[in-house]
Structures are given as structure tokens and as C-alpha cells.
Structure 1
């Protein structure tokens, strides 16, 4: 595994779930990593800043705005003078509607959050990641390769991220880009699937996700979160362009540490 000392990383979606697990792992590791964490509200991540005042900067704003991307990069550079990694971990499931029922505008809003904000972050980060031979981690989903009723916008947007990782592997040989499937994790999104969106889904899919919760089949965020964290500071170039599950055999060296 590559050297991991003192990395500067931009992380989105860090206020809860997988993102929070990523943040805590990177900040509690022996290395002196620094994070710019982006969220809708400053309060959601204040605790991280208070706990690690010299190693965490919080950026509040709407991630679907392209302005956030440039600001995040500028913050990393002004504070620590470099950028080594970008973890795109935010996303929305909405609209949860059949293709026949969702408006183009609803699809567009979903893609603004899940796709275009990621592209903006990548474009702003690339000039600096090239210099550090840095890494980009894109949190994907099994929905990128398996269809669920009413999840068209979400699944399609995650499929875009998978292809984006492949494209960047070709276009940016000095940067390692990986799309990661974290599995079915016990997060706020899973609660919304069960309690808010169940009526829009098929009965089969609704029972599947209800059953996972009831039977203890949901993963804890720390499992995939820690793998993503390790990849963000140590992934080798040979992984670039791949779409991998967090527990894939190809990531065995990261799972054993």
C-alpha cells in the first residue's frame, strides 16, 4: 500500500453515516491528515472542527452549486497548501418515482446533486491532484448496475459516476479514481427508503429493505467507511477506473489493516 502520511482531503457528506465514519477514521489515524468537510449547514460538522481545530475546516453550502467546489479547493490550499484527495460521498435518492411519473426538472435536480456537483468538484481539484498524484473516491451504489422500481434517477446518476471513474482513469493517468459500492448500510437514506419512499417502490423491493433492517442485515457505516478512507490515502494506480464493492477481494490489503 502507498505512503499515507499527512494528506489533505476534501470530503463531502461527512455529517452522518458513511461520510462521518470516513472522517473519524482519517482524523483518528496515526497520520496527521487534514480535512475540508462540506455540508449544507455548518452546525452539522462543528463537532469535528472543535475536536480537531487544526485539522478540519468546515464549508457550509448547497453542494449542487458549482461555486462550492472552487471554494472547497481554495480552502484546502489556503490552509494547508496542497490537495491529495477528493471523496465525493454526498447524494440524494430523490425523486423516487417511476420514469413515467417524474418530471425532467426532478431528474435534473437529482443529477445536479449526484452528478454535476461531483464533476464540479473533480474539475476544481484535478490541477492540484495531478501535482500530488492524488486520489478521487466516488461513493457509488449497487443501484448503478441493478434496477429498482422508482429509483431510475438515483441508479442512473450512480452509473454516471462509475463511467466517470473509467474516463478519468484514461484521461488523468497521474490521478487514481475509484468508484466504490458500499453495500446496504444503516444510514438515514435507508430510513427514508423504509419510512418515506416505500409506497413508490415495488412490494418485492420494499420487503427486501424492511427485512434487512428487521433481521440485522444492514452494514454499520464503519465497514465501508474505513475502506474508503484507506483508499483515499493509499490506493494504488492499478485500481484506477474500477467499480468495486467495499468488500471485494481486490481490496483485501485494505480490509486487513
Structure 2
């Protein structure tokens, strides 16, 4: 039986598999399909994704979803902390490649792309999830050197990753998903560095949507999520944040209103696999109506 028969049931022709209508379980219950063919299909259909900031929070939830999805995709995980990444490698084995380092080091970007292509033969998408809050304080009190480092991490590293990845992504008609923030469009006193860098991220996605017709780029607002950054805001910046903003973050946590990382994370994981080109260049909230088909 030819391999492309497997995709024909869901699409009527050779091409992309619609996971929602035809799953691996369906294959397993089709007695006429040889088990070795199923294994071959799984290998050939697996996508290769780079996820930055993959050691915790939203990045970790994205990574775990990709690794445990029906096709068991391949992921190059990038972060500063080695231990969480090694745990992923221990659990998922050959599906995972690790790259540790400070994202302010722009040489990490081509290294990650090379690692993906050499290990798995291609690159289908990147999730640029890393970032830092940086200096918190009014612009009148800003330290340019601290802002420079924050911009290196939050924005210029994105440019490095995009530039390094574009040749491979053009070949696969790949996806770029950015983790943005509501701070990109709303002023929070003392968040000048963080908000400005996220606004620049949104415009980077917008520019890519205009310049790269074969690559789909989407910037996602994940909402208020129970992450390390939220802990920092509550505990480490009680005096540097203005009182009403600090009280807001404390209150949301106490009331149990923070999102779980998996809520926006799973939407973003699905987008890096299957985001339609019509979304390219857009800045959308994770629960936007336009993304209803990607929400659980």
C-alpha cells in the first residue's frame, strides 16, 4: 500500500494531514496497514520546531505538547538553565536536542538552526518565547546599559533567530510564533523597557508578514499566566512598581485568576504546526475568536 494513501483519507489528495479528522488511532485500527508503514509515516510526518525559553512556564508547556502530540514532533530546546532541558532529553530521547546559553548571545541563533537541520533534516517552525522583564522603573530613571541588555534579549535576539531560520523555513513554508504581551499596547508605569521591546516584536511579526510570503509569522498575547515573571512582579518589585499596579498582580494571584501555562501554550504549539498564512503579521490574544480552531 503506498504511503500517501494514509493522507488521502483525510484530505482526498496527497498533502497535509488533518489531525482532527484522522488520527494515529485510526491508523492502528485499520488492519490492512502494515505496522512498519505506520512507524515510517510517524517519522516522515514529524515536524522540527525550535522553542526558546523552553525550560519553564509557557515555553515548557509548548515543548511538552509538541513532544507528546500524536506524531511526536522533534524539538530543539533553547534556554539558560541546563537541568530542565536535560530532563526533557531524558524523557523524550532522540526527539530532543539541547542548546544552553544566554539569549543575548546572538551566536545561539545560527547554532540552534544548524542543530535542528543537522539532527532532523529540516526546520518547520520556531517559537520565540524567551524574554525578561528587565529594569523596572520610570524612564527618567532608566539606565541605558540595562536597557541595552534587555533589548538584546527581548528583541535583537529575535532578529538573529529570524535571520538564521528564514532560509530553512522558506523551504518548508514554516511558522514563526512570538510570545508577546499586553504591555506592548498598554502602558504600565515602570515597564518602559519591557513594553517597548514587545511592541517592537509585534512590528517585527508585521514586517515579516509583508516580506516573507512563504513563512507565517504570528505574535501572540498570552494573557496573565502563572509564571516566574508573575512571581517576580509580586515579590521582587513591590517597591519599584506603582502601588495600584502591584496590587493588581497580587490580587489576580490571590483570587486564582492567573492562567495555567498550558492554556496559551497549547494554542501556540498548535499554531507553530498549522497556523494558516491568513494570520501572518497579526498580533492576537491567545483566546481571540480568530484562533478558535486552535483552542481547547
CA distance in 1, matches of 2:248, 2:83: 34
Residue 110 of structure 1, aligned match among 136, 150, 169: 150
Task: Name the residue aligned to 2:128.
Answer: 88
Q: Provide the residue aligned with 1:129 in structure 2.
A: 169
The TM-score normalised by the length of structure 2 is 0.85
Residue of structure 1 in register with 2:280 after alignment? 240
Structure 2 counterpart of 1:53: 93
Counterpart in the other structure of 2:212: 172
Computing the radius of gyration over CA atoms, which structure comes out larger, 1 or 2? 2
Query: 1:53 Cα shift?
Result: 1.1
> In structure 1, what is the Cα distance between the partners aligned to 2:190 and 2:142?
9
Distance 1:115 1:88 in 2: 10
Residue 68 of structure 1: aligned partner: 108
- Please give the alpha-carbon distance, in whole angstroms, between the structure 1 residues aligned to 2:78 and 2:235: 27
| Bigger mean CA offset, 25-34 vs 236-245 | 25-34
Per-residue deviation at 1:197?
1.1
Instruction: Give yes or no for the alignment of 1:188 onto 2:217.
Output: no
Q: Displacement, 1:245?
A: 0.3
Secondary structure in structure 1 of the residue aligned to 2:55: coil
Bigger relative contact order, structure 1 or 2 (CA pairs below 8 A, ≥6 apart): 1
Q: Tell me how far apart the structure 2 counterparts of residues 241 and 7 of structure 1 sit (CA, whole Å).
A: 22
Distance 1:162 1:39 in 2: 22
Structure 2 residue aligned with 1:156, among 192, 196, 201? 196
- Gap runs ≥5 in structure 2: 1-10, 20-44
Distance in 2 of aligned mates of 1:47 and 1:71: 21
- Structure 1 runs of 4+ aligned residues shifted over 3 Å read 1-5
* In 2: Cα distance, 1:243 partner to 1:66 partner: 25
